[in-house]
Every structure is written in C-alpha cells, then in structure tokens.
Amino acid sequence: MTGDLEKDGLQRLLANDALPVDVLQSPHHGSRAANPPELAAWAQPRWVVVGVRENRLLPYLKKTYGRNTRVVSTGEYGAVTFDIHPDGTLRASAIRKPFITTAGKPAG
C-alpha cells in the first residue's frame, strides 16, 4: 500500500528491483510529486486506485501510468474492490458506478 509514500520513501522504493503489481493505490491522492513516471515504470500496475473526491488529476495519472493501466477514483466509483482468485484471475468491482471485470486485463 503506497497511500502516504513520498520523497525519501519513494526514492528508497524505486532503488529496489522493479516489482510489477496488479493494483496500486495512488500515493497522496494522485499528486504529481508522489506519482512520477518512474513509479509507473517501476510498478507497471494493471489498476491504479485514487482516493480523491474530484477528478482533476486523472488525466495526468492516465497519461503517466499509460493505456495498459486502468485508473479509477473513489470519487467517481465509490468503493473499489479487488478479489484475487486461486487461479490468479483478478476480479474488480465498484459500488457507485458499477463495473465488473474478471479478465486478465482491465475492461474499458
């Protein structure tokens, strides 16, 4: 969980070998400083969840994490839930603006 990751902690994380992840909680509510392109390249997340009411940073995050990553905000979708099944399939769903995907990659 990267919720409060910033500055020194971010640099220590990025000094480690890359660790691609399925789901990344966007540090500091999607701030630019806490979500640099280096973090996107390091984690290569399939999903980024941003805990934020307004969506003004979403265009930046979508560009930074790239088109292979689905960026969703709690402001738009409400609670976002991920279930990982024994076969490795990831199921994502949301409360406010429902979507469900069980595919290996995020659905549009």
Asked whether residue 104 is domain-assigned, the answer is no
Asked whether residue 90 is domain-assigned, the answer is no
Tokens of 59: 């265009």
Asked whether residue 92 is domain-assigned, the answer is no
Asked whether residue 1 is domain-assigned, the answer is no
Asked whether residue 13 is domain-assigned, the answer is yes
Number of compact structural domains in the chain: 1
pLDDT digits (tens, 9 = 90+) for 3-52: 677 788 899 999 999 988 999 999 988 999 999 999 999 999 999 999 99
Residue 102 has a pLDDT of 53
Cite the DSSP H helix spans in 4-102.
7-14, 37-43, 58-65, 74-77
Asked whether residue 69 is domain-assigned, the answer is yes
Asked whether residue 91 is domain-assigned, the answer is no
Domain encompassing residue 64: 7-78
